[in-house]
Amino acid sequence: MRLAELSERSGVPATTIKYYLREKLLPQGRRLSATQADYGEEHLRRLKLVRALIQVGQVPIAQARKALAAIEDESLDQHMRLGAATFALPHGPDPDENDPATAVARREVKKVIAELGWRYGTEDCPTPAYQMLVTAVSALTRLGYPCSAEHLKPYARLAAQQAVQDLDLVESYDSPIERAAAAVALTILYEPVLMSLRRLAETEESLHRFGSA
Amino acid sequence: MRLAELSERSGVPATTIKYYLREKLLPQGRRLSATQADYGEEHLRRLKLVRALIQVGQVPIAQARKALAAIEDESLDQHMRLGAATFALPHGPDPDENDPATAVARREVKKVIAELGWRYGTEDCPTPAYQMLVTAVSALTRLGYPCSAEHLKPYARLAAQQAVQDLDLVESYDSPIERAAAAVALTILYEPVLMSLRRLAETEESLHRFGSA
């Protein structure tokens, strides 16, 4: 297909596609003439992944390029390729090691992870999400709000159930590249969905407990 | 207590407290002299609520003032007061009514809300969280990712379970003002906790399904 069709089928504007080509995030098409090239289904799949990382995930170009290399490395299994895609996502500031609340947060998070039997997100294997979790729990600790391991465990168990749903959606895609794109896009795009469902549910639960009429 | 003690016990800097006093977010203390005033426990509680709204929740001053008036209105029940606090929270852009994806999103959200038997978050009662949900589901729709009512329902059921935990935490506080402060702070501060728990859980679920060794 020509660039115009690639743009139409992907929903990505032609100027953006040209930018991705210049940045080598997308391989060149098969050259037909000095001004025209032909693109295949592989370009379309790759383009969706690039868009998921850059546009939806706000991943910086250099980091996206690194993640793309891992996702397309056929010597890696599906798990490693999904990890390469999702670990590239921005995860906010790292924990402040000079803040005493950080040590408290690490201790509580460690208990939660042990209880759930998770193999990632330990101090030996500090994935981006683990760092994000420690930072978030430190903020609660510092302001004196409840966030001990006992408070966090029920939320961790619900997160495990969300992840089953998430991976079911990811598995509905066929190729490793499409699955990596879906993992990135669904991780990010479902965040506001889940936050607003929680806020709606809180209002219902408050009505149920405290409503007078 | 004097301003210095109020600052120390609340963790809010004295200059910030003076700003809240000028903006009438906090009532004046009992005047002791031209330069000194006395503050009570009620000021401390109110200050935690102001901090939760402004600093943690990023609520604009004018909107915070309105929310505070409702939270302290003793003619309202606990449910209405919690609502006044949490509805003031920023909820991102409203749905774009010119985008066909918005109509699709509204239709699917409506099915989810009906299925769960929720009384808020309908078109008749468009709470901020409902608008936020429609906007988020429209984004998924526009990019062609799965987000039908069937996809959303399991997440909505998990959100209802999160809300039970959330309201248990809120109920661990005694006064209506402290509960409103906790509802705001815990709604906001737990968002990054829940997002990072989900990302950690996704990695575990991916390892479980796709890991090779």
pLDDT for B94-112, tens place per residue?
A: 999 999 999 999 999 999 9
Which domains are assigned to chain A?
3-87 (1.10.1660.10), 100-210 (no CATH)
Interface A–B counts its CB contacts (< 8 A) at: 263
Best of A153, A167, A199 to disrupt the B interface (most B CBs within 10 Å) is A199
The residue-averaged pLDDT of B78-97 equals 90
Structure tokens at B172: 């661990």
A11: left (phi over 0), alpha (psi -120 to 50) or beta: left
Interchain CB distance below 8 Å, A139 and B187: no
DSSP reduced 3-state for B53: helix
pLDDT for B10-34, tens place per residue?
A: 889 999 999 999 999 999 999 999 8
Tell me the DSSP string of B145-200: ---SHHHHHHHHHHHHHHHHHHHHHHHTS-SHHHHHHHHHHHHHHHHHHHHHHHHH
| Amino acid in position A97 | E
Structure tokens at B132: 């936020």
How far apart are the C-alpha atoms of A149 and A127, rounded to whole Å?
19
Q: What is the pTM of this model?
A: 0.92
ipTM of this complex: 0.93
pLDDT for A117-171, tens place per residue?
A: 998 877 777 899 999 999 999 999 988 899 999 999 999 999 999 999 999 999 9
Interchain CB distance below 8 Å, B86 and A207: no
- CB count, 10 Å around CB of A39? 24
Q: Minimal Cα–Cα distance from B33 to chain A, Å? A: 32
Interchain CB distance below 8 Å, A83 and B194: no
Best of A86, A113, A141, A203 to disrupt the B interface (most B CBs within 10 Å) is A203
Question: B201: which chain A residues are within 8 Å (Cβ-Cβ)?
Answer: 118, 156, 159-160, 162-163
Interchain CB distance below 8 Å, B198 and A119: no
Q: Minimal Cα–Cα distance from B175 to chain A, Å? A: 13
Question: Do A131 and B192 touch, CB atoms closer than 8 A?
Answer: no
The residue-averaged pLDDT of A203-210 equals 94
CB-nearest to B78 from A120, A197, A210 is A210
Question: Do B189 and A143 touch, CB atoms closer than 8 A?
Answer: yes
Mean per-residue pLDDT over chain A, rounded: 92
- Which residues fall within 8 angstroms of residue B56, CB to CB, at 6 or more apart? A143, B184, B185, B188, B189
